[in-house]
Structure 1
């Protein structure tokens, strides 16, 4: 995504129900904006929201963008309907793995963010240094 300015997660709270959902929505918008395999209208919508030129609610009400979203949903649905039973089982297993990674990621990020900083100065655990 190449923009002069990119919105912050907090700017998505008008549609997200909590900060974690806003963070995931922000990450999804980046993915859409950078996905060359997606239609230009979808990528343009994501870029417009990320740059702050369009708010997310406005994008969801814009006929150009809603048409692009519905077209993509239709493509996904058609591809899902054309899969074999074995492909569906494999997809279900892959989705379960993806969900597990998604649930673990916020915990990992929180642990990294909240971890004590090593080498920040003398330790007070061993008492004052001489």
Structure 2
């Protein structure tokens, strides 16, 4: 599958409650689509939604995808239960570092999204999502 097009945040407003949630959802779909360690059904779902071939609401209701999500959550829960205290502390520290990096990327994407568009006759972008 080629990534000729990627949906915009506005196209996720059918399930997202605000532009911030839409941004986070699109970023999460990108992460899932690129995670080779995940179930191929999950990656396929994310790629299909990102390309606009599958509506996000339809994907969330498709039994193939929901089963893959539940299976992954079960695996994560089991792995967390099997961790020693030291491993839990290490995981928390790693998550803190990862989360800080994610926050920096989100801040950059927000700045790009909200930046005025130059060269369009003074228009400040005209990209307002109203829902």
Tell me if both proteins adopt one fold, taking TM over 0.5 as the criterion: yes
Give the aligned partner of residue 57 of structure 1. 57
Give the aligned partner of residue 35 of structure 1. 35
Runs in 1 of length 4+ with deviation above 6 angstroms? none
Question: How far apart are residue 105 of structure 1 and its match?
Answer: 3.6
5+ unaligned residues in a row in structure 1: which ranges?
Answer: 118-130
CA distance in 2, matches of 1:112, 1:20: 11
Rate the CA distance shift 1:12–1:114 in 2: closer, same or farther, 3 A: closer
Give the aligned partner of residue 91 of structure 1. 91
CA distance in 2, matches of 1:106, 1:99: 10
Rate the CA distance shift 1:27–1:106 in 2: closer, same or farther, 3 A: closer
Give the aligned partner of residue 69 of structure 1. 69
Give the aligned partner of residue 46 of structure 2. 46
Please state whether the residue corresponding to 1:79 is helix, strand or coil. Answer: helix
Please state whether the residue corresponding to 2:72 is helix, strand or coil. Answer: helix
- TM-score norm. by structure 1 comes to 0.76
Q: Deviations over 1:39-97 (max 9, x none)?
A: 11101111111111211111111111100110111111111111110111111222233
CA distance in 2, matches of 1:9, 1:111: 13
Rate the CA distance shift 1:30–1:111 in 2: closer, same or farther, 3 A: closer
5+ unaligned residues in a row in structure 2: which ranges?
Answer: 119-131
CA distance in 2, matches of 1:5, 1:47: 11
- TM-score norm. by structure 2 comes to 0.75
Alpha-carbon RMSD across the aligned residues, in angstroms, is 2.5
Between Structure 1 and Structure 2, whose CA radius of gyration is higher? Answer: 1
